[in-house]
Structure 1
Amino acid sequence: MAARTAFTTVLAGFGEDAPLPIAARLFAQAGMPVFPCAPGGKNPLTEHGFHDATTSLAQVESWWRRFPAANIGMPTGVASGVVVVDVDVHGVNGYDAFRQARRAGLVNGWEALVRSPTGGLHVYYPSGNGEQPSWQAGRAGIDLRGDRGYIIVPPSRRIIGGATAWYRLASLSPTPGRALDAAALRTFLDPPRPPRRLQERGSSSGRTDPLKLAKWLGGERTDRNHKLFWASCVLAEEGVPYRDALDAMLTVSQPDFGQREIARTVASGYKRIHGDASHPRNADTARPGPVHDLDAIPEGRVPSRGLR
């Protein structure tokens, strides 16, 4: 009979008020490598980031003696035995795409749902056999945290608007999970397609052609976010559909300029011009409902006992 992942087993044993040093030790003791991240943040405190993650109790205890308020980072994929579907709510509301993927039967088999401090959702699955590389589907507002990636785990916390907000366990599946077909999910969320060429609208300069603006942006190496925001505002002012602008701008993504960052910036430009979320579909003004509203996702349970 299949068993729960070690991550879910440990997570079920403590509450959000668990001391971070004790929680980090419990994860490491169960065989999941961890590393410290900035208190109230997500940036690694170690020199090589998630590559420094370890199950050595001596090292873990040393780190959290030095940084007792450090958040807990955990590599995803084969290293920890879990992959995570990260549903975002900034720029593009990923809950819509997640509901669609659920209806298509592509996201069943999760073991744990964790609400992020900003209102997003982390959906945990067993990693299965073999590697599942991390990826981003910026159009959908969903990322996969797999091999060569990491996640911040409960009971870590963030400082949002001056207040403390937790990574909160929302639900545990009543049964052990099963591996996610991450490749099928990515194809569903972000099917490969050539960017659509739009007829230029009254300008020979390419000012309102998103592909020409994207080509220009792709040649830039400095201040790209500012330039992307400017380009997005121009396209919004000229009435270019948001989806066409986003499709074009996502073609310039790079390892240091990822799809999520691009999607957020394009949405911000359209929101600046139009003043609401009607053009960037379901942008970050649209707040997600509670986890159990995710269109018939079965409700599990949340442990009531806490680790003191």
Structure 2
Amino acid sequence: MLDAALSYIARGWPVFPCEPGGKAPLGVLVPRGFKDATRDVEHASRWWTSFPNANVAIPTGADTFDCLDVDVEPSGSGYGAFNRLKRAGLVPDPIAIVATPRGGMHGWLVGSAQASGRLAKHHIDFKARGGYVVAPPSEVNGRPYTFVHQGTGVGMLNWSAVRDLLDPPKPVAAPAYIGPKRGDYGIPGLAVWLSTRTSHRNDSLFWACCRAIENGAGEADLDELVRVAVTLPGDDELTEREARRTVRSALRTARRTA
């Protein structure tokens, strides 16, 4: 384990110890978990000299790598979702592929500042900023993590695109009476109407985008509707990221019905 830890440090990656045979940080040495990871050879040597069987873990994110975690559990397997992502061209060539103890896999990908995420019903996890992975040759329940492929490590996984493909937002049809008069379906009229919405802003933005697209607006034209939607005061706030997802959903809906 010490040799492995030092080999990861040689690549410029910080490491920290987890419980022998487990995934939890070894709290007696790293009370802050992955935040205590180190690139210092002497520091790491002291850790693994004290606990030679401690598993080796690496924080994920921009300083190391992102990880697409495909789980295999009694409730299901993530390989079906993973194959959908591959067919859609959303999985870049990895730095490495690691077989995990329960039959799943970790795809180590170019690191980014994206937040970690999870799609539980698809048995897919994404470990990036704020996450970590247990690395080979660590073992859990007597079964090791092992490298099965070394790749070029070119290209970054877009977790937002993964989420949109596997778990797209469900558009909500607005009531027939909602919205301005039909003559006001241009961007200015829709923006004025949207500025009056004090609730259900996501649904209202979706409806307004669909009407604008039907009236000939392109994706760039919808920026004004996004600006209005995210600056409205009140409790029913909408972030720009949520608004952009709604715009993409409206564009997909418009293409399907065109």
Contact 2:119 2:125 in 1 (8 A): yes
Determine the structure 2 residue equivalent to 1:208: none
* CA deviation after TM superposition for structure 1 residue 31, in Å: 1.3
SS at match of 1:32: coil
- From 53, 71, 76, the equivalent of 1:69 is 53
Residue in structure 2 matched with residue 141 of structure 1 by the alignment: 123
CA distance in 1, matches of 2:33, 2:109: 23
1:38-49 aligned at under 5 Å gives the runs: 38-45=19-26, 46-49=30-33
The answer on 1:172 being equivalent to 2:150 is yes
Q: Within 5 Å, which residues of 2 pair with 1:1-308?
A: 20-45=1-26, 46-80=30-64, 82-90=65-73, 91-128=75-112, 131-159=113-141, 164-173=142-151, 175-193=152-170
Deviation track 1:104-152 (CA, whole Å, cap 9, x = no partner) reads 1111322211100110110111115xx1110000111100010000000
Identity fraction in percent: 39
**Counterpart-to-counterpart distance in 1, 2:168 and 2:57:** 31
Aligned AA for 1:181? N
Aligned residues: 168
Q: Is the 8 A contact 1:139 1:190 kept in 2?
A: no
Gaps of 5+ in 1: 1-19, 196-308
How does the TM-score come out when normalised to structure 1?
A: 0.52
CA distance in 2, matches of 1:66, 1:155: 18
**2-side partners of 1:189 and 1:107: how far apart?**
13
1:204-242, Cα deviation, whole Å (9 max, x unpaired): xxxxxxxxxxxxxxxxxxxxxxxxxxxxxxxxxxxxxxx
Q: Which has the larger radius of gyration?
A: 2
Please, which runs of 5 or more residues in structure 2 have no aligned partner? 173-258
Normalized against structure 2, the TM-score is what? Answer: 0.62
CA distance in 2, matches of 1:179, 1:74: 18
* Matched AA of 1:148: G
* CA drift at 1:185: 1.0
Contact 2:92–2:156 at 8 Å: present in 1 too? no
